């Protein structure tokens, strides 16, 4: 594996003060010209990140230096930095040790962007539940294989909390969505977690629609959550899959307008 450029290596001490980070070297950026200059600057910095010429923690040159290297105005540079900051790729710090610092985009930030796209699309509750059947059943074998004792304890704790909420009449679909997100985290796969986070809004929409058709749906659903966790603990992929299939198909039938018992 080729070694990273010396200026791109991160400091071994993760607690190092921002002032000790190395600044991006001169000549790294190229002048741009277009009616959408700021986007070309953003694209260029994204490419430098992908090629590891820039690393999380690196400080970008000052606005004045960026203006000189890109051959643009300060307004254009600021517009590009705001775009990078909104994408979670740059953090703007103020003060004597401030500046624009490269950051690593979190799965949550990326997931929020995907969620916005989904929420603005004409996605129906029926389509959401159909997608969940494909996705959530597909990851069950990974969960059975990778779920740790800590994962199982956390899921059981959620089930206890939700059972209490059902008794007190305060169980809601946000709790159900949280359970499914925690289940997906047991895959220990960042891409899967990102997809689940992006799907949170549409999932909640479909669950609430199902609940509006059958207000008592949480009572049986929370019991199925617990049965699913125990199947995971037994490392029984077949049983876990069947429990989840039944659980999801109930929601699917409700959003299609078919009432069923709770």
Residues 123 and 95 in one domain: no
Domain region containing 233: 108-255
Residue 261 lies in a domain: no
Q: Per residue in 141-191, pLDDT tens?
A: 999 999 999 999 999 999 999 999 999 988 888 899 999 999 999 999 988
In terms of residues, how long is the chain?
262
Domain count, the chain: 2
CATH code of 146's domain: 1.20.120.530
Q: Return the DSSP state at 23.
A: B
Rg of the chain taking only CA atoms, in angstroms: 24
Examine the fold and report which residue of 102, 129, 155 is the final residue of a domain before the chain moves on. 102
Q: Tell me: the pLDDT tens digits for 116-132?
A: 555 566 778 888 889 99
List the chain residues with pLDDT less than 50: 1-3, 5-20, 258-262
Q: Are residues 175 and 146 in the same domain?
A: yes
Whether residues 42 and 148 share a domain: the answer is: no
Of 200, 254, 251, 181, nearest to 221 (Cα)? 251
Report d(CA 246, CA 253) in Å as an integer.
Answer: 11
Residue ending a domain, among 72, 102, 132, is 102
């Amino acid at each position: 594996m080729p070694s990273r450029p010396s200026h791109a290596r991160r400091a071994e001490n993760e607690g190092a003060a921002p002032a000790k980070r190395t600044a991006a070297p001169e000549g790294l950026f190229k002048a741009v010209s277009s009616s959408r200059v700021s986007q070309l600057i953003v694209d260029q910095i994204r490419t430098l990140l992908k090629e590891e010429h820039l690393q999380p923690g690196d400080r970008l040159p000052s606005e004045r230096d960026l203006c000189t290297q890109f051959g643009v105005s300060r307004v254009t540079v600021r517009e590009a930095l705001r775009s990078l900051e909104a994408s979670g790729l740059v953090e703007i710090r103020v003060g004597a040790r401030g500046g624009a610092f490269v950051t690593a985009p979190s799965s949550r930030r990326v997931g929020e962007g995907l969620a916005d796209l989904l929420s603005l699309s004409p996605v129906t509750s029926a389509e959401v539940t159909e997608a969940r059947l494909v996705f959530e059943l597909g990851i069950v074998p990974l969960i059975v294989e990778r779920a740790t004792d800590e994962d199982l304890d956390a899921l059981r704790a959620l089930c206890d909390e939700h059972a209490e909420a059902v008794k007190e009449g305060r169980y809601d679909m946000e709790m159900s969505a949280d359970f499914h997100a925690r289940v997906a985290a047991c895959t220990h796969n960042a891409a899967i977690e990102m997809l689940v986070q992006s799907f949170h809004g549409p999932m909640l929409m479909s669950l609430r629609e199902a609940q509006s058709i059958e207000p008592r749906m949480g009572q049986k659903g929370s019991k199925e959550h617990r049965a699913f966790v125990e199947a995971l603990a037994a490392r029984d992929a077949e049983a876990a899959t069947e429990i989840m299939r039944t659980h999801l198909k109930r929601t699917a039938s409700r959003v299609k307008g078919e009432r069923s018992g709770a």
